[in-house]
Structure 1
Amino acid sequence: MMYSSTDLLNWKNLGPQAPSVKGYWRPKIAKPNGQFWLYGQQDRYVLSLQSPQLVGTYSTAKKVHIPPSDYSYSDTGMFHDDATDTWYLLTSADHNTIQINKLNSDGSVGDRVSTLTGGAYEAPGIFKADGVYFLIVSGKTGWRANPNKVFWSNSIAGPWKGGSNIAPEADKTYGSQNTFELTINGTQKTTYIYMGDAWDSKGSTGSTYVWLPMKVDTSGKTVTLDYHKQWKIDVKTGVVSHP
Protein backbone atom coordinates (compact mmCIF):
# COMPACT_ATOMS: atom_id res chain seq x y z
CA MET A 1 0.00 0.00 0.00
CA MET A 2 1.07 3.60 -0.66
CA TYR A 3 0.00 6.68 1.26
CA SER A 4 0.54 10.40 0.69
CA SER A 5 0.41 13.45 2.93
CA THR A 6 0.96 17.19 2.67
CA ASP A 7 1.42 17.76 6.42
CA LEU A 8 2.73 14.44 7.85
CA LEU A 9 -0.45 14.24 9.93
CA ASN A 10 -3.31 13.49 7.56
CA TRP A 11 -2.74 10.62 5.14
CA LYS A 12 -4.49 9.53 1.95
CA ASN A 13 -4.55 5.85 0.98
CA LEU A 14 -3.44 5.55 -2.65
CA GLY A 15 -4.12 1.83 -2.79
CA PRO A 16 -2.04 -1.25 -3.57
CA GLN A 17 0.91 -0.71 -5.90
CA ALA A 18 1.97 -4.29 -6.67
CA PRO A 19 -0.93 -6.62 -5.81
CA SER A 20 0.93 -9.77 -6.83
CA VAL A 21 3.80 -9.18 -4.40
CA LYS A 22 3.38 -10.73 -0.96
CA GLY A 23 5.52 -10.42 2.13
CA TYR A 24 7.35 -7.24 1.11
CA TRP A 25 9.16 -5.60 4.03
CA ARG A 26 10.41 -2.03 4.47
CA PRO A 27 9.83 -0.78 0.90
CA LYS A 28 11.72 2.38 -0.10
CA ILE A 29 11.18 4.62 -3.14
CA ALA A 30 13.96 5.84 -5.44
CA LYS A 31 14.13 7.62 -8.79
CA PRO A 32 17.61 7.09 -10.23
CA ASN A 33 16.27 7.80 -13.74
CA GLY A 34 12.95 8.66 -15.37
CA GLN A 35 11.38 5.59 -13.76
CA PHE A 36 10.23 5.08 -10.18
CA TRP A 37 11.60 2.13 -8.24
CA LEU A 38 10.65 0.30 -5.07
CA TYR A 39 13.24 -1.71 -3.19
CA GLY A 40 12.14 -3.96 -0.33
CA GLN A 41 12.98 -7.14 1.49
CA GLN A 42 11.51 -10.48 0.41
CA ASP A 43 12.83 -13.91 1.38
CA ARG A 44 16.05 -12.43 2.81
CA TYR A 45 16.88 -10.69 -0.44
CA VAL A 46 16.04 -7.31 -1.97
CA LEU A 47 13.25 -7.34 -4.57
CA SER A 48 13.11 -4.37 -6.95
CA LEU A 49 9.88 -3.14 -8.54
CA GLN A 50 9.55 -0.59 -11.34
CA SER A 51 6.87 1.83 -12.55
CA PRO A 52 6.81 4.71 -15.07
CA GLN A 53 4.85 6.80 -12.57
CA LEU A 54 5.00 7.32 -8.81
CA VAL A 55 1.46 6.08 -8.16
CA GLY A 56 0.48 3.10 -10.24
CA THR A 57 1.09 -0.55 -10.79
CA TYR A 58 4.66 -1.57 -10.07
CA SER A 59 5.99 -4.57 -11.93
CA THR A 60 8.67 -6.92 -10.67
CA ALA A 61 12.10 -6.04 -11.98
CA LYS A 62 14.31 -8.64 -10.34
CA LYS A 63 15.64 -10.09 -7.13
CA VAL A 64 18.79 -8.22 -6.23
CA HIS A 65 21.94 -10.19 -5.51
CA ILE A 66 24.13 -7.60 -3.88
CA PRO A 67 27.86 -7.72 -4.58
CA PRO A 68 30.44 -8.77 -3.73
CA SER A 69 29.57 -12.09 -2.08
CA ASP A 70 25.83 -12.57 -2.70
CA TYR A 71 24.98 -12.94 0.98
CA SER A 72 21.33 -12.78 1.94
CA TYR A 73 20.42 -9.23 2.91
CA SER A 74 17.53 -7.57 4.69
CA ASP A 75 16.26 -4.31 6.21
CA THR A 76 16.46 -2.14 3.12
CA GLY A 77 17.12 1.56 3.54
CA MET A 78 17.38 4.40 1.03
CA PHE A 79 19.42 7.60 0.92
CA HIS A 80 19.44 10.33 -1.71
CA ASP A 81 22.49 12.60 -1.71
CA ASP A 82 21.20 15.82 -3.24
CA ALA A 83 24.73 17.19 -3.60
CA THR A 84 25.47 14.65 -6.32
CA ASP A 85 21.89 13.57 -7.14
CA THR A 86 22.90 10.00 -6.29
CA TRP A 87 20.73 7.29 -4.77
CA TYR A 88 22.13 4.70 -2.39
CA LEU A 89 20.61 1.40 -1.26
CA LEU A 90 21.33 0.50 2.36
CA THR A 91 21.15 -3.10 3.54
CA SER A 92 22.12 -5.18 6.53
CA ALA A 93 23.44 -8.65 6.02
CA ASP A 94 23.13 -11.91 7.87
CA HIS A 95 26.90 -11.77 8.24
CA ASN A 96 26.59 -8.58 10.35
CA THR A 97 27.70 -5.99 7.81
CA ILE A 98 25.88 -2.77 7.00
CA GLN A 99 26.46 -2.15 3.31
CA ILE A 100 25.92 0.95 1.16
CA ASN A 101 25.56 0.44 -2.59
CA LYS A 102 25.12 3.08 -5.28
CA LEU A 103 22.09 2.69 -7.52
CA ASN A 104 22.97 2.84 -11.20
CA SER A 105 21.06 5.01 -13.67
CA ASP A 106 19.16 1.96 -14.92
CA GLY A 107 17.96 1.06 -11.43
CA SER A 108 20.37 -1.80 -10.95
CA VAL A 109 22.51 -2.06 -7.84
CA GLY A 110 26.15 -1.11 -8.30
CA ASP A 111 29.26 -1.85 -6.29
CA ARG A 112 29.37 -1.08 -2.61
CA VAL A 113 30.80 2.30 -1.65
CA SER A 114 30.96 1.82 2.11
CA THR A 115 30.44 -0.65 4.95
CA LEU A 116 29.98 -0.58 8.71
CA THR A 117 31.41 -3.56 10.53
CA GLY A 118 32.42 -4.38 14.09
CA GLY A 119 28.94 -4.97 15.48
CA ALA A 120 25.72 -6.87 14.94
CA TYR A 121 23.75 -4.06 13.28
CA GLU A 122 20.70 -3.80 11.04
CA ALA A 123 17.95 -1.35 9.97
CA PRO A 124 20.27 1.33 8.48
CA GLY A 125 19.25 4.87 7.64
CA ILE A 126 21.32 7.90 6.58
CA PHE A 127 20.77 11.64 6.58
CA LYS A 128 23.16 14.52 5.94
CA ALA A 129 23.46 17.75 7.91
CA ASP A 130 25.96 20.53 7.11
CA GLY A 131 28.05 18.14 5.04
CA VAL A 132 28.21 15.45 7.74
CA TYR A 133 26.72 12.04 7.01
CA PHE A 134 24.93 10.37 9.93
CA LEU A 135 24.20 6.64 9.85
CA ILE A 136 21.61 5.31 12.33
CA VAL A 137 21.40 1.58 12.98
CA SER A 138 19.65 -0.86 15.28
CA GLY A 139 21.19 -3.76 17.13
CA LYS A 140 20.13 -7.27 16.15
CA THR A 141 17.79 -8.41 18.92
CA GLY A 142 14.92 -9.91 16.94
CA TRP A 143 11.53 -8.44 17.81
CA ARG A 144 12.86 -6.86 21.01
CA ALA A 145 13.72 -3.16 20.89
CA ASN A 146 17.25 -2.01 21.69
CA PRO A 147 19.24 1.24 21.95
CA ASN A 148 19.73 2.37 18.35
CA LYS A 149 23.10 3.98 17.62
CA VAL A 150 24.45 6.73 15.39
CA PHE A 151 27.73 6.81 13.46
CA TRP A 152 29.10 9.69 11.39
CA SER A 153 31.47 10.40 8.53
CA ASN A 154 32.53 13.33 6.36
CA SER A 155 32.09 11.08 3.31
CA ILE A 156 29.51 8.55 2.16
CA ALA A 157 32.48 6.24 1.67
CA GLY A 158 33.35 6.37 5.37
CA PRO A 159 35.11 5.52 7.57
CA TRP A 160 32.27 5.62 10.09
CA LYS A 161 33.05 6.84 13.59
CA GLY A 162 31.12 7.09 16.84
CA GLY A 163 28.43 4.66 17.92
CA SER A 164 26.57 6.58 20.63
CA ASN A 165 22.93 5.92 21.57
CA ILE A 166 20.32 8.23 20.08
CA ALA A 167 18.12 7.91 23.19
CA PRO A 168 18.64 6.93 26.85
CA GLU A 169 19.71 3.29 26.90
CA ALA A 170 16.97 2.21 29.29
CA ASP A 171 14.27 3.52 26.93
CA LYS A 172 15.46 1.25 24.08
CA THR A 173 14.70 3.88 21.44
CA TYR A 174 11.19 4.19 22.87
CA GLY A 175 10.27 0.70 21.74
CA SER A 176 11.18 1.26 18.10
CA GLN A 177 13.69 0.29 15.43
CA ASN A 178 15.09 2.71 12.86
CA THR A 179 13.79 2.59 9.28
CA PHE A 180 14.21 6.07 7.74
CA GLU A 181 15.29 9.66 8.39
CA LEU A 182 13.26 12.46 6.80
CA THR A 183 14.65 15.94 6.21
CA ILE A 184 12.26 18.92 6.23
CA ASN A 185 13.87 21.97 4.62
CA GLY A 186 11.62 24.66 6.06
CA THR A 187 11.64 28.40 5.49
CA GLN A 188 12.68 29.00 9.12
CA LYS A 189 14.72 25.92 9.96
CA THR A 190 15.73 22.48 8.76
CA THR A 191 14.31 19.67 10.87
CA TYR A 192 15.40 16.04 10.81
CA ILE A 193 12.84 13.38 11.72
CA TYR A 194 13.59 9.89 12.99
CA MET A 195 11.09 7.34 11.69
CA GLY A 196 11.08 4.05 13.56
CA ASP A 197 8.97 0.90 13.42
CA ALA A 198 7.30 -0.22 16.63
CA TRP A 199 7.19 -3.93 15.86
CA ASP A 200 4.68 -6.32 17.38
CA SER A 201 5.82 -9.92 16.93
CA LYS A 202 2.17 -11.05 16.81
CA GLY A 203 1.51 -8.80 13.83
CA SER A 204 -1.40 -6.99 15.46
CA THR A 205 -2.53 -3.40 14.96
CA GLY A 206 0.02 -2.56 17.66
CA SER A 207 2.64 -2.56 14.90
CA THR A 208 2.73 1.21 14.42
CA TYR A 209 5.45 3.85 14.30
CA VAL A 210 7.52 6.12 16.51
CA TRP A 211 8.38 9.36 14.74
CA LEU A 212 10.41 11.99 16.59
CA PRO A 213 12.37 15.13 15.72
CA MET A 214 16.11 14.84 16.24
CA LYS A 215 18.57 17.18 17.90
CA VAL A 216 21.58 17.27 15.58
CA ASP A 217 24.94 18.70 16.66
CA THR A 218 27.16 18.66 13.58
CA SER A 219 30.18 20.11 15.43
CA GLY A 220 29.96 17.60 18.27
CA LYS A 221 28.84 14.83 15.87
CA THR A 222 25.87 13.82 18.05
CA VAL A 223 22.25 12.96 17.30
CA THR A 224 19.58 12.51 19.98
CA LEU A 225 15.83 12.02 19.76
CA ASP A 226 13.74 14.91 21.11
CA TYR A 227 11.04 12.85 22.80
CA HIS A 228 7.54 14.21 23.38
CA LYS A 229 4.37 12.15 23.58
CA GLN A 230 2.67 14.66 21.32
CA TRP A 231 4.28 16.96 18.78
CA LYS A 232 3.75 18.33 15.31
CA ILE A 233 5.76 20.04 12.62
CA ASP A 234 4.88 22.84 10.24
CA VAL A 235 6.21 21.32 7.02
CA LYS A 236 6.44 24.77 5.42
CA THR A 237 8.50 26.45 8.14
CA GLY A 238 10.14 23.36 9.62
CA VAL A 239 9.21 24.50 13.14
CA VAL A 240 8.30 21.80 15.69
CA SER A 241 5.77 22.46 18.44
CA HIS A 242 4.24 20.40 21.24
CA PRO A 243 1.80 20.87 24.15
Structure 2
Amino acid sequence: MAIMQGAQLFRDTNGEVAQLHGIGVQRFGDRWYAYGEIKNNGNLFQGVACYSTTDFVTWRNEGTVLEVGEDGSITGPERIIERPKVMRCPQTGKYVMYLHVDGKGDYAYAHIGTAISDAPTGPFEFLNTMQFRGYESRDIGVFQDEDGVGYILSEDRPHGTHIYRLSDDYLSIVEDVICLRGTNYWAGYESPILIKKDGVYYWFGSCLTGWDCNDNMFATATDLHGPWSDFTPFTPEGSHTYQSQCDIIVPLDGADQWHAGRFLYIGDRWNPDDLGNSPLVTLPIDIDDRRAVLQWRDSWDNTL
Protein backbone atom coordinates (compact mmCIF):
# COMPACT_ATOMS: atom_id res chain seq x y z
CA MET A 1 0.00 0.00 0.00
CA ALA A 2 1.03 3.61 -0.65
CA ILE A 3 -1.10 5.67 1.71
CA MET A 4 -1.10 9.41 1.08
CA GLN A 5 -2.67 12.19 3.12
CA GLY A 6 -4.87 14.92 1.71
CA ALA A 7 -2.30 17.42 2.97
CA GLN A 8 1.19 16.46 4.04
CA LEU A 9 4.85 17.30 4.17
CA PHE A 10 6.80 15.00 1.88
CA ARG A 11 9.85 13.63 3.74
CA ASP A 12 12.88 11.96 2.27
CA THR A 13 14.33 8.63 3.36
CA ASN A 14 16.42 10.48 5.98
CA GLY A 15 13.28 11.91 7.57
CA GLU A 16 13.97 15.47 6.40
CA VAL A 17 11.24 17.66 4.91
CA ALA A 18 11.54 17.50 1.12
CA GLN A 19 12.00 20.99 -0.27
CA LEU A 20 9.52 20.62 -3.09
CA HIS A 21 7.76 23.98 -3.03
CA GLY A 22 6.59 25.24 -6.43
CA ILE A 23 7.04 21.60 -7.45
CA GLY A 24 7.58 20.31 -10.98
CA VAL A 25 7.37 16.56 -11.75
CA GLN A 26 8.35 14.45 -14.75
CA ARG A 27 8.79 10.72 -15.26
CA PHE A 28 12.15 9.66 -16.68
CA GLY A 29 12.58 5.89 -16.97
CA ASP A 30 11.03 4.00 -14.07
CA ARG A 31 11.02 6.90 -11.57
CA TRP A 32 9.34 10.25 -11.15
CA TYR A 33 11.69 13.16 -10.55
CA ALA A 34 10.43 16.15 -8.60
CA TYR A 35 12.09 19.57 -8.53
CA GLY A 36 11.35 22.22 -5.96
CA GLU A 37 12.27 25.54 -4.45
CA ILE A 38 14.39 25.28 -1.31
CA LYS A 39 12.64 27.54 1.22
CA ASN A 40 14.47 26.88 4.48
CA ASN A 41 15.38 30.54 4.96
CA GLY A 42 12.62 32.69 3.50
CA ASN A 43 11.68 33.51 -0.07
CA LEU A 44 15.02 34.36 -1.71
CA PHE A 45 16.87 31.84 -3.90
CA GLN A 46 18.48 28.93 -2.05
CA GLY A 47 18.88 26.51 -4.95
CA VAL A 48 16.71 23.88 -6.64
CA ALA A 49 16.27 20.51 -4.93
CA CYS A 50 15.54 17.20 -6.66
CA TYR A 51 13.94 14.08 -5.21
CA SER A 52 12.81 10.88 -6.93
CA THR A 53 10.10 8.35 -6.17
CA THR A 54 8.21 5.37 -7.54
CA ASP A 55 5.02 5.88 -5.50
CA PHE A 56 4.96 9.50 -4.19
CA VAL A 57 5.31 8.16 -0.66
CA THR A 58 9.00 7.19 -0.45
CA TRP A 59 11.32 9.96 -1.61
CA ARG A 60 15.03 9.69 -2.39
CA ASN A 61 16.99 12.91 -2.00
CA GLU A 62 18.94 13.50 -5.22
CA GLY A 63 20.58 16.67 -3.89
CA THR A 64 20.66 20.30 -4.90
CA VAL A 65 20.72 20.17 -8.69
CA LEU A 66 20.98 23.91 -9.35
CA GLU A 67 23.18 25.76 -6.88
CA VAL A 68 22.97 29.37 -5.79
CA GLY A 69 25.27 31.61 -7.82
CA GLU A 70 27.70 34.26 -6.64
CA ASP A 71 26.51 37.52 -5.10
CA GLY A 72 25.33 39.86 -7.83
CA SER A 73 24.85 37.09 -10.42
CA ILE A 74 21.52 36.28 -12.06
CA THR A 75 21.19 33.26 -9.72
CA GLY A 76 22.62 34.99 -6.67
CA PRO A 77 21.23 34.65 -3.14
CA GLU A 78 19.45 38.01 -3.33
CA ARG A 79 17.25 36.96 -6.29
CA ILE A 80 13.73 35.55 -6.35
CA ILE A 81 13.76 32.34 -8.45
CA GLU A 82 10.75 30.05 -8.46
CA ARG A 83 8.77 27.24 -10.15
CA PRO A 84 11.50 24.86 -11.39
CA LYS A 85 10.21 22.64 -14.21
CA VAL A 86 12.22 20.12 -16.24
CA MET A 87 11.66 18.41 -19.59
CA ARG A 88 13.89 16.11 -21.62
CA CYS A 89 14.38 17.39 -25.14
CA PRO A 90 13.88 14.52 -27.63
CA GLN A 91 16.07 16.21 -30.27
CA THR A 92 19.17 16.65 -28.09
CA GLY A 93 18.60 14.23 -25.20
CA LYS A 94 19.38 17.09 -22.78
CA TYR A 95 17.36 17.81 -19.64
CA VAL A 96 16.25 21.44 -19.70
CA MET A 97 15.13 23.28 -16.57
CA TYR A 98 12.91 26.34 -16.74
CA LEU A 99 12.55 28.86 -13.93
CA HIS A 100 10.72 32.04 -13.07
CA VAL A 101 13.67 34.40 -12.54
CA ASP A 102 12.93 37.71 -10.90
CA GLY A 103 14.64 40.64 -9.23
CA LYS A 104 16.69 41.30 -6.15
CA GLY A 105 14.00 40.69 -3.57
CA ASP A 106 11.29 42.01 -5.87
CA TYR A 107 9.26 41.07 -8.94
CA ALA A 108 10.56 43.71 -11.35
CA TYR A 109 12.69 41.48 -13.63
CA ALA A 110 10.08 38.88 -14.72
CA HIS A 111 12.06 36.59 -17.06
CA ILE A 112 12.17 32.88 -17.90
CA GLY A 113 15.45 31.21 -16.95
CA THR A 114 16.96 28.12 -18.57
CA ALA A 115 19.48 25.58 -17.31
CA ILE A 116 20.70 22.34 -18.87
CA SER A 117 22.04 18.94 -17.78
CA ASP A 118 22.95 15.53 -19.18
CA ALA A 119 21.00 13.79 -16.39
CA PRO A 120 17.72 14.39 -14.56
CA THR A 121 19.66 14.63 -11.30
CA GLY A 122 21.96 17.35 -12.62
CA PRO A 123 24.06 19.21 -11.99
CA PHE A 124 22.27 21.81 -14.11
CA GLU A 125 24.25 24.58 -15.75
CA PHE A 126 22.41 27.89 -15.81
CA LEU A 127 22.35 29.30 -19.36
CA ASN A 128 20.40 32.55 -19.62
CA THR A 129 17.11 34.36 -19.16
CA MET A 130 14.62 35.43 -21.81
CA GLN A 131 11.41 37.27 -22.49
CA PHE A 132 9.48 36.67 -25.70
CA ARG A 133 8.99 40.02 -27.45
CA GLY A 134 9.46 41.78 -24.12
CA TYR A 135 6.46 40.15 -22.41
CA GLU A 136 6.77 39.74 -18.64
CA SER A 137 7.00 36.20 -17.31
CA ARG A 138 6.31 35.21 -13.73
CA ASP A 139 4.78 31.84 -12.78
CA ILE A 140 5.52 29.17 -15.39
CA GLY A 141 4.53 25.63 -16.32
CA VAL A 142 5.76 23.25 -19.03
CA PHE A 143 4.16 20.71 -21.35
CA GLN A 144 5.46 18.19 -23.88
CA ASP A 145 2.99 17.05 -26.54
CA GLU A 146 2.79 13.66 -28.23
CA ASP A 147 4.84 14.87 -31.21
CA GLY A 148 7.70 15.89 -28.92
CA VAL A 149 7.07 19.62 -29.23
CA GLY A 150 7.67 21.48 -25.98
CA TYR A 151 5.72 24.40 -24.55
CA ILE A 152 6.07 26.90 -21.71
CA LEU A 153 3.06 28.44 -19.99
CA SER A 154 3.87 31.90 -18.68
CA GLU A 155 1.84 34.35 -16.59
CA ASP A 156 2.21 37.91 -17.90
CA ARG A 157 0.45 40.39 -15.62
CA PRO A 158 -0.35 43.08 -18.23
CA HIS A 159 -1.66 40.71 -20.92
CA GLY A 160 -2.77 37.33 -19.52
CA THR A 161 -1.20 33.87 -19.52
CA HIS A 162 0.67 32.69 -22.62
CA ILE A 163 1.28 29.26 -24.09
CA TYR A 164 4.63 29.53 -25.87
CA ARG A 165 5.98 26.93 -28.33
CA LEU A 166 9.65 26.10 -27.88
CA SER A 167 12.36 25.61 -30.51
CA ASP A 168 13.48 22.09 -31.41
CA ASP A 169 16.31 22.28 -28.86
CA TYR A 170 13.89 23.60 -26.17
CA LEU A 171 16.17 26.58 -25.47
CA SER A 172 14.21 29.43 -27.05
CA ILE A 173 10.63 30.46 -27.81
CA VAL A 174 9.43 30.48 -31.43
CA GLU A 175 5.68 31.10 -31.18
CA ASP A 176 3.17 32.76 -28.87
CA VAL A 177 0.47 30.14 -29.43
CA ILE A 178 -2.22 31.92 -27.41
CA CYS A 179 -2.57 34.42 -24.57
CA LEU A 180 -5.72 34.38 -22.44
CA ARG A 181 -7.18 36.19 -19.50
CA GLY A 182 -9.53 34.32 -17.21
CA THR A 183 -13.26 34.10 -17.76
CA ASN A 184 -14.86 37.23 -16.27
CA TYR A 185 -11.50 37.94 -14.66
CA TRP A 186 -9.08 40.82 -15.21
CA ALA A 187 -5.85 38.80 -15.50
CA GLY A 188 -4.42 35.52 -16.63
CA TYR A 189 -3.90 32.62 -14.24
CA GLU A 190 -0.66 32.03 -12.36
CA SER A 191 0.86 28.65 -11.46
CA PRO A 192 -0.31 27.37 -14.87
CA ILE A 193 -0.59 23.66 -15.68
CA LEU A 194 -1.28 21.99 -19.04
CA ILE A 195 -2.03 18.31 -19.54
CA LYS A 196 -3.57 16.28 -22.36
CA LYS A 197 -5.89 13.29 -22.15
CA ASP A 198 -7.21 11.45 -25.19
CA GLY A 199 -6.89 14.43 -27.52
CA VAL A 200 -8.24 17.08 -25.14
CA TYR A 201 -6.03 19.74 -23.52
CA TYR A 202 -6.76 20.79 -19.93
CA TRP A 203 -5.41 24.15 -18.73
CA PHE A 204 -5.35 24.81 -14.97
CA GLY A 205 -4.37 27.93 -13.04
CA SER A 206 -4.71 30.06 -9.94
CA CYS A 207 -6.12 33.57 -9.51
CA LEU A 208 -3.89 36.38 -8.30
CA THR A 209 -4.38 36.60 -4.53
CA GLY A 210 -0.82 36.66 -3.19
CA TRP A 211 -0.13 34.03 -0.52
CA ASP A 212 -3.89 33.56 0.03
CA CYS A 213 -5.60 30.64 -1.71
CA ASN A 214 -8.51 30.92 -4.14
CA ASP A 215 -10.78 28.78 -6.29
CA ASN A 216 -8.37 27.57 -8.98
CA MET A 217 -9.81 27.23 -12.50
CA PHE A 218 -9.54 25.06 -15.60
CA ALA A 219 -10.55 25.19 -19.27
CA THR A 220 -10.39 22.73 -22.17
CA ALA A 221 -9.70 22.72 -25.92
CA THR A 222 -8.86 20.26 -28.68
CA ASP A 223 -6.33 22.68 -30.24
CA LEU A 224 -3.84 24.76 -28.27
CA HIS A 225 -4.72 27.76 -30.45
CA GLY A 226 -8.32 27.44 -29.28
CA PRO A 227 -11.16 27.93 -29.02
CA TRP A 228 -10.92 27.34 -25.27
CA SER A 229 -13.92 26.77 -23.05
CA ASP A 230 -14.75 29.12 -20.19
CA PHE A 231 -12.56 28.74 -17.11
CA THR A 232 -14.51 27.14 -14.24
CA PRO A 233 -13.60 25.81 -10.76
CA PHE A 234 -12.68 22.14 -10.32
CA THR A 235 -13.38 22.10 -6.57
CA PRO A 236 -16.53 23.27 -4.74
CA GLU A 237 -16.90 27.04 -5.00
CA GLY A 238 -15.57 28.75 -1.90
CA SER A 239 -13.29 25.80 -0.97
CA HIS A 240 -10.24 27.76 -2.19
CA THR A 241 -9.02 24.51 -3.79
CA TYR A 242 -8.85 22.99 -0.30
CA GLN A 243 -6.52 25.78 0.75
CA SER A 244 -3.95 25.13 -1.97
CA GLN A 245 -2.47 26.61 -5.12
CA CYS A 246 -2.14 24.20 -8.05
CA ASP A 247 1.43 23.19 -8.87
CA ILE A 248 1.34 20.09 -11.02
CA ILE A 249 -1.03 17.35 -12.20
CA VAL A 250 0.82 14.08 -12.73
CA PRO A 251 -0.40 11.29 -15.06
CA LEU A 252 0.04 8.09 -13.06
CA ASP A 253 -0.78 5.25 -15.45
CA GLY A 254 -1.48 4.35 -19.05
CA ALA A 255 0.82 3.52 -21.93
CA ASP A 256 1.91 7.17 -22.03
CA GLN A 257 1.22 10.46 -20.26
CA TRP A 258 -1.34 11.59 -22.87
CA HIS A 259 -3.73 8.66 -22.33
CA ALA A 260 -3.60 8.17 -18.57
CA GLY A 261 -6.61 7.10 -16.54
CA ARG A 262 -5.36 8.27 -13.12
CA PHE A 263 -3.95 11.66 -12.15
CA LEU A 264 -2.38 13.12 -9.02
CA TYR A 265 -3.00 16.75 -8.05
CA ILE A 266 -0.23 18.47 -6.05
CA GLY A 267 -0.68 22.00 -4.75
CA ASP A 268 1.15 24.26 -2.31
CA ARG A 269 -0.53 25.23 0.94
CA TRP A 270 1.72 28.21 1.56
CA ASN A 271 2.74 29.20 5.09
CA PRO A 272 4.32 32.66 4.60
CA ASP A 273 5.82 32.59 8.11
CA ASP A 274 7.56 29.23 7.55
CA LEU A 275 7.81 28.59 3.81
CA GLY A 276 10.16 25.63 4.18
CA ASN A 277 7.51 23.70 6.11
CA SER A 278 4.58 24.59 3.87
CA PRO A 279 2.61 21.38 3.29
CA LEU A 280 1.40 20.06 -0.04
CA VAL A 281 -2.17 19.09 -0.87
CA THR A 282 -1.97 15.69 -2.62
CA LEU A 283 -5.21 14.26 -3.98
CA PRO A 284 -6.44 12.11 -6.87
CA ILE A 285 -8.15 14.25 -9.50
CA ASP A 286 -10.79 12.89 -11.87
CA ILE A 287 -10.16 14.10 -15.44
CA ASP A 288 -12.23 12.88 -18.37
CA ASP A 289 -14.65 14.06 -21.06
CA ARG A 290 -13.70 17.75 -20.58
CA ARG A 291 -14.39 17.50 -16.85
CA ALA A 292 -12.00 17.90 -13.93
CA VAL A 293 -13.15 17.20 -10.36
CA LEU A 294 -10.98 17.33 -7.22
CA GLN A 295 -12.59 15.97 -4.06
CA TRP A 296 -11.19 16.12 -0.54
CA ARG A 297 -9.94 12.93 1.14
CA ASP A 298 -8.21 12.78 4.51
CA SER A 299 -6.16 9.86 3.21
CA TRP A 300 -6.14 7.53 0.21
CA ASP A 301 -4.21 4.66 -1.35
CA ASN A 302 -1.97 5.61 -4.28
CA THR A 303 -0.79 2.05 -5.00
CA LEU A 304 0.41 2.06 -8.61
Same fold per TM (> 0.5)? yes
Answering whether residue 136 of structure 2 is matched by residue 72 of structure 1, we say: yes
For the 8 Å contact 2:137–2:154, the answer to whether it is kept is: yes
User: How far has the Cα of 1:109 moved from its partner?
Assistant: 2.1
Aligned to 1:127: 195
Task: Tell me, in whole angstroms, the C-alpha distance in 1 between the residues paired with 2:130 and 2:273.
Answer: 29
Task: Tell me, in whole angstroms, the C-alpha distance in 2 between the residues paired with 1:71 and 1:171.
Answer: 33
Answering whether residue 173 of structure 2 is matched by residue 104 of structure 1, we say: no
Answering whether residue 281 of structure 2 is matched by residue 210 of structure 1, we say: yes
Which of 125, 149, 157 is equivalent to 1:86?
149
Which of 142, 160, 164 is equivalent to 2:228?
160
Unaligned runs of 5+ in 2: 1-48, 70-74, 103-109
Task: Tell me, in whole angstroms, the C-alpha distance in 2 between the residues paired with 1:96 and 1:177.
Answer: 21
From the superposition, tell whether residues 114 and 47 of structure 1 become closer, same or farther in structure 2 (CA, over 3 Å): same
User: How far has the Cα of 1:186 moved from its partner?
Assistant: 4.3
5 Å-filtered alignment, 1:163-242, equals 163-186=231-254, 190-218=261-289, 221-235=290-304
4+ residue runs over 4 A deviation? none
For the 8 Å contact 1:75–1:91, the answer to whether it is kept is: yes
Which of 105, 119, 130 is equivalent to 1:53?
119
Which of 216, 220, 236 is equivalent to 1:148?
216
- Cα RMSD of the aligned pairs, angstroms, is 1.7
For the 8 Å contact 1:76–1:123, the answer to whether it is kept is: yes
Q: Secondary structure at the match of 1:224?
A: strand
User: Counting strand residues as a fraction of each chain, which structure ranks higher?
Assistant: 1
Describe the superposition over 1:83-137 as per-residue Cα deviations: whole angstroms up to 9, x where unpaired.
2112111110121411011121222222111222243221110111121111011
Aligned to 1:8: 56
User: How far has the Cα of 1:149 moved from its partner?
Assistant: 0.7
For the 8 Å contact 2:140–2:190, the answer to whether it is kept is: no
- Alignment length, in residue pairs? 229
5 Å-filtered alignment, 1:27-38, equals 27-32=84-89, 33-38=92-97
* Greater relative CO, 1 or 2 (CA 8 Å, sep 6+): 2
From the superposition, tell whether residues 56 and 217 of structure 1 become closer, same or farther in structure 2 (CA, over 3 Å): closer
Answering whether residue 82 of structure 2 is matched by residue 25 of structure 1, we say: yes
User: How far has the Cα of 1:157 moved from its partner?
Assistant: 1.8
For the 8 Å contact 1:125–1:136, the answer to whether it is kept is: yes
Q: What TM-score, normalized by structure 1, do the two folds share?
A: 0.88
User: How far has the Cα of 1:204 moved from its partner?
Assistant: 3.4
- State percent identity of aligned pairs: 28
Q: Secondary structure at the match of 1:174?
A: helix
User: How far has the Cα of 1:144 moved from its partner?
Assistant: 0.6
Task: Tell me, in whole angstroms, the C-alpha distance in 2 between the residues paired with 1:209 and 1:45.
Answer: 26
Task: Tell me, in whole angstroms, the C-alpha distance in 1 between the residues paired with 2:197 and 2:254.
Answer: 14
For the 8 Å contact 2:159–2:179, the answer to whether it is kept is: no
For the 8 Å contact 1:116–1:160, the answer to whether it is kept is: no
